Amino acid sequence: MTPGGSGLAVRRRVRVRGGWSRPRGGSRKFSTASRPWASWSTPWLYLAPALVVLGGLLLYPIYQLGLISVFRYTQAQVSGGEPTAFVGFGNYSDVFSDGEFWSVLLATVLFAAACVVSTLVVGCALAVLLTRVRALPRLVLMLAALGAWATPAVTGSTVWLFLFDPDFGPVNRLLGLGDHSWTYGRYSAFFLVLLEVVWCSFPFVMVTVYAGIRAVPSEVLEAAALDGASQWRIWRSVLAPMLRPILTVVTIQSVIWDFKVFTQIYVMTGGGGIAGQNLVLNVYAYQQAFASSQYGLGAAIGVVTLLVLLAVTLVHLRLLHRQGEEL
């Protein structure tokens, strides 16, 4: 054995239990096996900045909303004339005991469901159409859809009111309806708002589904066509199952957006229609909070709306998880 040979052997030895090795370069390299926390902490470190921003923009307002909902908070408390009083679930008890709340909730659910279904049908149909037309018509349709998507809700609602105006609107003249008022009747007013909501919402569905269709291998669609499948059969049996994760995302987004519609209803029906016949939850909460100065009551309605949306989203995701879908 040469002098110093044992020392060289010691320097070159590999320490297995400690989880590190000393290569010929001399630097220690730690393995992830010795640091199990690194495998799950690394993604959260990357997400930390976004989570901090979302926490400030979302969690704190939700906390304030829930806090106000358990206090008697009216104009007297805002002006400092009276101290705030803790009422616990008193505001929620008042909300649930109000018959108008339940009728507004039912109208909101039905209206949101109609908007979601209509938006998905129109968006998916136009997405399929984009794959069938040439480049120039596709570009024109995309620009028109993106223009509708970028239009502010107040502007779009005002334009649709003009189009269906009983005196100067072109729609009544084309249909020969004379001075028919679309916003007078409850169902016609809801239908008019539905058209505007679908008009400003379908571009998101169209663009998202179109991107998903383009990602599907063309060989799959060609094989289905060679087997004699119709376009509807291809969509129902081939495209829809492959696009289910994308359809899930756009469905949940549409449910959230359409359930909390405010601007279109408020602008097009004048704050909820005649005698509140076109009220939805957001407009109803606005009236309770600001028109009646019952801010605690309005906050309680807002919390109920949030819980309903969370329940719908979780139930939908749970059903997909049972079917083995990965999101």
71 — phi, psi (to 5°)?
-125, 155
Task: Give residue 11's pLDDT.
Answer: 46
Task: Give residue 318's pLDDT.
Answer: 79
CA dist., res. 266 & res. 254, Å (int): 19
Contact at 8 Å (CB) between 68 and 87?
no
Task: Give residue 285's pLDDT.
Answer: 93
User: Which pTM value belongs to this model?
Assistant: 0.79
Q: How many CA atoms lie within 13 A of 273 on its CB side?
A: 24
Task: Give residue 80's pLDDT.
Answer: 77
Alpha helix (H) ranges present in 164-243?
Answer: 170-175, 186-215, 218-226, 231-234, 240-242
- Which stretches of the chain drop beneath a pLDDT of 50? 1-21, 23, 26-27, 29-32
Token output for 198: 């679908």
Task: Give residue 16's pLDDT.
Answer: 44
